[in-house]
């Protein structure tokens, strides 16, 4: 099964509300990254958080990492219709070849205007 | 403009007819990787390359070949495509294996 698993699979909210997505993984990691994908397009990198970091911010995005629970969350505040996309977490694992990346199945976010 | 370019963007072909999907990046990145994306299965890594002449298997390498003769190019080769390789394929690159990856726009392959 996938190293990273997102939850929920789908999320629908109104513009202005906050959206929270979660990612769980199974083995120890060096870092965890969040990506966004608009329908049918390539993924765009959002945030990278290292295993020794607990929280990072970028604009309206806030990412937390709890290595004891092997989980991460992505919070999008004050959502906009343009945030409608799929969001994926990706991990690389300690004790594997550098460069081996594992993506979760993604959370599909719909923001209604 | 920094980009990863894949060609073709769309291809419909038949079982057994060899095909190559090209990938080129203009950022002088050491690391390049191929993924396939299927509904309900997320992105799965096929092959990756840490540098020229260095390639490694990802999670789903069966039925695929790659080469890395030049830093900028990382073609994906399907020697004898089969219908189960119908998928959306993405190429990505980054400075090294731990940095954010830049993705191409994808190649949608249909194998009949």
For position A2, what pLDDT does the model report? 44
Distance CA B97, CA B14 (A): 34
Q: How far is B82 from chain A (nearest CA, A)?
A: 22
Q: Mean pLDDT across chain A, nearest whole number?
A: 91
Q: How far is B104 from chain A (nearest CA, A)?
A: 6
Q: Mean pLDDT across chain B, nearest whole number?
A: 95
Give A94's pLDDT tier (boundaries 50, 70, 90).
low
For position A96, what pLDDT does the model report? 61
CB spacing of A92 vs B96 below 8 angstroms = no
Span B22-39, average pLDDT = 96
Q: Please give the residue that has the higher pLDDT: either B19 or B1.
A: B19
pLDDT tens digits, one per residue of A25-35: 988 888 999 99
pLDDT tens digits, one per residue of B44-63: 999 999 999 999 999 999 99
pLDDT tens digits, one per residue of B60-106: 999 999 999 999 999 999 999 999 999 999 999 999 878 899 999 99
For position B63, what pLDDT does the model report? 97
Give A6's pLDDT tier (boundaries 50, 70, 90).
confident
Residues of B in contact with A103 (CB under 8 A): 35, 42-45
Note every long-range contact of B38-43, with CB atoms under 8 Å and residues 24 or more positions apart, other chains counting.
B38/B87, B38/B88, B40/A105, B41/A105, B42/A2, B42/A88, B42/A103, B42/A104, B42/A105, B42/A106, B43/A43, B43/A88, B43/A90, B43/A103, B43/B90
Reply yes or no on whether the pLDDT at B3 is more than 50.
yes
- Please name the residue of chain B whose CA is at the shortest distance from the CA of residue A104: B42
For position A1, what pLDDT does the model report? 38
């Amino acid at each position: 099964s996938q190293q990273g698993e997102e939850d929920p699979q789908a999320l629908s909210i109104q513009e202005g509300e906050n959206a929270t997505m979660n990612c769980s993984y199974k083995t120890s990691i060096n870092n965890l990254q969040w990506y966004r994908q608009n329908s049918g397009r390539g993924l765009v990198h959002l945030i990278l958080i290292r295993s020794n970091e607990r929280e990072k911010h970028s604009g309206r995005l806030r990412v937390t990492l709890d290595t004891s629970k092997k989980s991460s969350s992505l919070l999008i505040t004050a959502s906009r219709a343009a945030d409608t996309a799929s969001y994926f977490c990706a991990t690389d694992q300690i004790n594997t070849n550098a460069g081996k990346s594992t993506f979760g199945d993604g959370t599909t976010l719909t923001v209604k205007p | 403009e920094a980009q990863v370019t894949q060609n073709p963007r769309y291809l419909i072909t038949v079982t057994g007819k060899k095909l190559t999907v090209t990938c080129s990046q203009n950022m002088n990145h050491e690391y390049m990787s191929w993924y396939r994306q299927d509904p309900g299965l997320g992105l799965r890594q096929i092959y990756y390359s840490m540098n020229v002449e260095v390639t490694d298997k990802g999670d789903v390498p069966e039925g695929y070949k790659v080469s890395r003769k030049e830093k900028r190019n990382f073609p994906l080769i399907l020697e004898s495509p089969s219908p189960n390789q119908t998928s959306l394929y993405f190429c990505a690159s980054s400075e090294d294996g731990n940095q954010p990856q830049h993705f191409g726009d994808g190649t949608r392959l249909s194998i009949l």
